[in-house]
Amino acid sequence: MVAAGNSLALTRGIQEEEVGPARYRQEFLTIAWEQIHLRNIYPFQYFSIGASLIPFIEHNDANRALM
């Protein structure tokens, strides 16, 4: 179960409600917070967080990617 990254309860670190929006097998559900295992941070992240720290990696410049 993957919780939506823009969920208000996840953003503020509070859980006011007992259920929240989540995605399971490409379906959007409203489930209990105890069943949520992961949190979706940024849906358009093509590389891992470590690889995204390399400057201008999406510009396909081999010299910059090897820095």
Whether the Cβ atoms of residue 1 and residue 38 lie closer than 8 Å to each other? yes
In the structure, what pLDDT confidence band is assigned to residue 66 with cuts at 50, 70 and 90?
A: low
Q: How far apart are CA 40 and CA 22, in angstroms?
A: 9
- Domain regions of the chain by residue span: 2-65
Tokens at 49, concatenated: 């967080």
| pLDDT tens per residue across span 2-34 | 676 655 555 555 555 677 777 788 888 888 877
pLDDT confidence of residue 39: 72
